[in-house]
Amino acid sequence: MTPGRPIIRQHPPAEGTAGCSNHRLEYHVPRAYPDEDRQTAETAEQIEAAFREHLHLSGLRGEWRMASAPLSETVVRQARQADLTILGQLDPDRAPPPAGRQLIEDVLMTAGRPILLIPYAGRAETCGTNILVG
């Protein structure tokens, strides 16, 4: 078993702090199964340590959250409180854990908030330069 796919959110500086490197980065790794084993817990600890090191090296503030509820339910609940949720498209050549098979569909259909879906293949040289709001 492995933890759910990480979700990273970077928040802009607080109002009145323009020009400061006062961004906030949030990294959320939902657990794939409520009864996860010791190896999965150790993997989650390693991911958390890497996250905290990234925060430290980049000078960003961040927040670590670990959830034990079902994956889709956890991500939908978090997405409802976010301005934008960024999810990665699944690679069809790499099967996700059973808990993650319907994740994108569940979030798209039930979160009621904006979702940015990043393709699993290709490389985007720019992001956000041309936006369509319909």
Name 29's Cβ contacts closer than 8 Å, sequence gap at least 6.
3, 4, 5, 6, 7, 44, 47, 48, 65, 66
Tokens standing for residue 99: 């808990």
Q: Domain limits of the chain? A: 7-118
Q: Residue 20 carries which side chain, given as an amino acid letter? A: C
Q: What percent of the chain has pLDDT over 90?
A: 16
Report CA-CA distances (Å) from 69 to 30, 53, 73, 75, 119.
8, 26, 7, 10, 26
**Maximum Cα–Cα distance across the chain:** 46
Q: Pick the more confident residue, 21 or 102.
A: 102
Q: Name which CATH class applies to 7-118.
A: alpha beta
The strand pairing partners of 118, in sequence order, are 88
pLDDT of residue 26: 57
Q: pLDDT tens across 57-108, in order?
A: 988 888 887 777 788 898 999 999 888 888 888 888 888 777 778 889 999 9
- pLDDT over 80 at 30, yes or no: no
pTM, two decimals, is: 0.57
